[in-house]
Amino acid sequence: MNDSIKPTERTRVKRLPKRGNYDREVINAILDEGFICHVGFVADGQPYVIPTGYARIGNDLYIHGSAASRMLRGIAEGIDVCVTVTQVDGLVLARSAFHHSINYRSVVILGKAELVETADEKNAVLEAFTEHVIPGRWAEVRWPNELELKATTVLKLPINEASAKIRTGGPVDDEEDYAMNIWAGVIPLKLTKRDPIPDDRLADSIAIPAHVINYDR
């Protein structure tokens, strides 16, 4: 049996339920592929949605940022949040305008985040964060010192109430439209790296390391 997350009234996918998925393996794969989430929270009754980086360790999602961030300070106080990660996989071109769609995989996590307090745990999260965004990087950089760890707020959100929503495959047209003389199919999309740009102040003697050359999403 798969390790599934029990859907709640709040996370069950109601529109097009066959797109919903609650398997941890599926949810984790989507989370591990991306590195930018959108964090939703409420302040003075107004919802805010802010993009930020994240990493997953086991069944917890971590976000981090400056200790001076109003958003993180608010979230650290235990308010309800929604963290959403979306991968766009392609444009679905149908014969009718109505049936055009987008192939995507998204995860929605609801819950309350808690503050990561100890320097050791913070450090472990920053390592996971760096390695999540660019594997092989952590071993080659200068690690955070005590002051930097203090200046970094790290929040942990347990992945307990979550669901994935996935659309794959080609267009689904109305039966009578299949006879029309219109091209239909999918344009796949992928976030792709371009050639690395060395820092202006980089010494000529420093070669591009393997973890940058081989980097791919």
Site for a copy of itself in 92-111 (CB under 8 A): 93-98, 100, 102, 104, 106, 108, 110
Q: Which is nearer to a copy of itself, 26 or 184 (CB)?
A: 184
CA 165, CA 13: separation in Å to the nearest integer? Answer: 7
Can residue 171 be called a binding residue for a copy of itself (CB under 8 A)? Answer: yes
Cβ contact 95:173 at 8 Å: yes
CA 164, CA 30: separation in Å to the nearest integer? Answer: 8
The two tokens of residue 1 are 């049996």
Question: Smallest gap, in angstroms, from Cβ of residue 59 to a copy of itself?
Answer: 20
CA 101, CA 60: separation in Å to the nearest integer? Answer: 31
DSSP state of 144: P
Can residue 66 be called a binding residue for a copy of itself (CB under 8 A)? Answer: yes
Can residue 180 be called a binding residue for a copy of itself (CB under 8 A)? Answer: yes
Q: Which is nearer to a copy of itself, 115 or 212 (CB)?
A: 212
Can residue 21 be called a binding residue for a copy of itself (CB under 8 A)? Answer: no
Can residue 139 be called a binding residue for a copy of itself (CB under 8 A)? Answer: no
The two tokens of residue 157 are 């959100």
